[in-house]
């Protein structure tokens, strides 16, 4: 076996969190090795919408994500300005600070376009290399073992490196069928992945082998309603129907199974399907929603979505009447009579302002589906990133079940569980904030080699 020697900090995983952690540790004068399982650093940031979103106050974040860890959320809100300033200071281009509905602030990546952020990520990777960080690609980590006051990080084939401190930043477990089944049950078998191969749960497995506790709702994830058809990676983001929260979602019984408006980016909807074990469901909207005339702000892509979806072969049903829509969906396995009753009951309730009194409540964005034509899309639950993961404190130190830090071990990004729950408030930003904190914490605690 080849020995790469001893370094101050080893970062396992070269997605956004790992890149920021490595760059932060190097900026403190540390010798850093960044170890990536796949052939290319960058992870899911390469295919992201590319907006660093955060809440403008802890109160706003707590209101939207009440099941997240308050201490980590405080770190998230407080650390966002520093993380953005750090990236800018490294010469990574960011757009100007903007405000969005729901007490949110955002800064877009300054290069690339939604779903295609290679230019931005490659620029960040280059900054990491120039900082003296050694990047090892195609190097999945087989084990991490305590050694000499630090850890020996063993690659599957390339060798090993000994480090005083180790940061886990492998991107969660959205690409791990066995971990998804362990934590989400039978419904996980129906998930459609909206993430790259690297998020295979390596960090979680390695941390558990070292005695780490878990944190957060392990069944919670960030994802979206997705068309039930094959889509290329660069189509995932443009064809995500963020406006699904404005229409209704029904199962094979023709019945609504969730409050579609429960989350701002409709991320709670696919989770409801997974928890209920639903394999596929149908999104129904009318012409007013499709054209963007429904009462709602901040949801992009409605007007262009239909044309792009048709070009991509998305399974759509279009009808000039509700009865005509129900008849077509009946041929696709939906109870058409129940569907008509469900939509009529929904329309009557929301017209009367009583959407929250429905058997399946509708608490926001409640407008009747009444303007023809009507549209239906057969859908599946799509998963992007898991919300539960490794337990950490506000220094991003990995915690044991007794809530005491495991010496020398840190976690960041999607690996660091608990900041979000059924709703989420910006994984790109959390990766930047927690990557920054983990890199600094590890560097400042590491004895120099």
Q: Using the predicted structure, report yes or no on whether residue 302 has a pLDDT greater than 80.
A: no
Q: What is the pLDDT of residue 237?
A: 86
How many C-beta neighbours within 10 Å does residue 32 have? Answer: 31
Residue that the structure tokens 């020398």 belong to? 408
- What tokens were used for 387? 């919300």
**Whole-angstrom Cα distance, residue 349 to residue 362?**
9
pLDDT at 103 over 90: no
Chain segment 27-69, per-residue pLDDT in tens: 999 999 999 999 999 999 999 989 999 999 999 999 999 999 9
Q: pLDDT-derived band of residue 114, with 50, 70 and 90 as boundaries?
A: confident
Instruction: Check residue 317 and report its DSSP letter.
Output: E
CA–CA separation, 423 and 219 (whole Å): 12
d(CA 379, CA 229): 8
* Domains of the chain, CATH where assigned: 3-218+387-445 (3.50.50.60), 222-383 (3.90.700.10)
For residue 16, the surrounding DSSP H or E stretch is helix 16-27
Q: For residue 64, give the nearest of 16, 36, 102 by alpha carbon.
A: 102
Helical pair 336-351 and 322-330, crossing angle rounded to 10 deg: 140
d(CA 260, CA 256): 9
CA 405 from chain centre, in angstroms, equals 26
| pLDDT (0 to 100) of residue 203 | 97
Contact predicate 202/210, CB 8 Å: no
| Closest to 390 in 3D by CA, of 425, 371, 417, 354 | 417
- What integer is the mean pLDDT of 155-160? 77
In this predicted structure, the answer to whether residue 73 has a pLDDT above a threshold of 50 is yes
Look at residue 293 and tell me whether its pLDDT is greater than 90: no
């Amino acid at each position: 076996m080849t020995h790469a020697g001893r370094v101050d900090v080893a970062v396992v995983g070269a997605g956004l969190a790992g890149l920021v952690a490595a760059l932060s540790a190097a900026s403190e004068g540390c010798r850093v090795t960044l170890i990536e399982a796949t052939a290319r650093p960058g992870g899911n940031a390469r295919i992201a919408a590319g907006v660093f979103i955060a809440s403008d106050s802890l109160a706003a974040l707590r209101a939207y994500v009440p099941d997240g860890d308050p201490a980590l959320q405080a770190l998230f809100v407080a650390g966002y300005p520093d993380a953005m300033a750090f990236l800018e200071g490294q010469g990574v281009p960011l757009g100007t600070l903007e405000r969005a509905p729901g007490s949110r602030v955002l800064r877009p990546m300054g290069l690339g376009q939604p779903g295609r952020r290679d230019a931005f990520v490659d620029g960040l990777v280059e900054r990491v290399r120039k900082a003296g960080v050694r990047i090892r690609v195609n190097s999945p980590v087989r084990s991490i073992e305590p050694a000499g006051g630090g850890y020996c990080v063993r690659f599957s084939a390339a060798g090993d490196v000994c480090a005083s401190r180790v940061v886990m930043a492998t991107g969660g477990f959205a690409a791990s069928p066995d971990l998804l089944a362990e934590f989400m049950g039978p419904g996980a078998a129906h998930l459609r992945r909206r993430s790259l191969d690297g998020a295979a749960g390596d960090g979680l497995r390695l941390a558990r082998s070292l005695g780490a506790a878990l944190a957060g709702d392990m069944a919670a994830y960030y994802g979206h309603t997705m068309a039930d058809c094959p889509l290329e990676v660069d189509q995932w983001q443009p064809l995500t129907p963020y406006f699904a929260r404005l229409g209704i979602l029904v199962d094979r019984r023709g019945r609504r199974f969730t409050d579609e408006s429960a989350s701002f980016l409709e991320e709670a909807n696919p989770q409801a399907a997974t928890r209920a074990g639903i394999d596929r469901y149908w999104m129904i909207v009318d012409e007013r929603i499709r054209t963007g005339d429904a009462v709602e702000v901040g949801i992009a892509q409605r007007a262009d979505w239909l044309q792009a979806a048709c070009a991509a072969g998305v399974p759509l049903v279009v009808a000039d009447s509700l009865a005509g829509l129900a008849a077509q969906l009946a041929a696709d396995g939906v109870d058409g009579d129940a569907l008509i009753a469900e939509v009529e009951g929904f329309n009557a309730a929301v017209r009367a302002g009583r959407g929250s009194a429905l058997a399946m409540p509708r608490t926001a964005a409640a407008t009747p589906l009444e303007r023809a034509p009507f549209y239906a899309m057969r859908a599946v639950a799509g998963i992007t990133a898991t919300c539960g993961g490794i337990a950490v404190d506000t220094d991003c130190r990995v915690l044991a079940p007794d809530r005491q830090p495991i010496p020398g071990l840190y976690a960041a990004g999607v690996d660091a569980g608990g900041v979000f729950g059924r709703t989420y408030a910006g994984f790109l930003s959390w990766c930047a904030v927690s990557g920054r904190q983990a890199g600094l914490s590890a560097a400042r605690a590491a004895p120099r080699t």
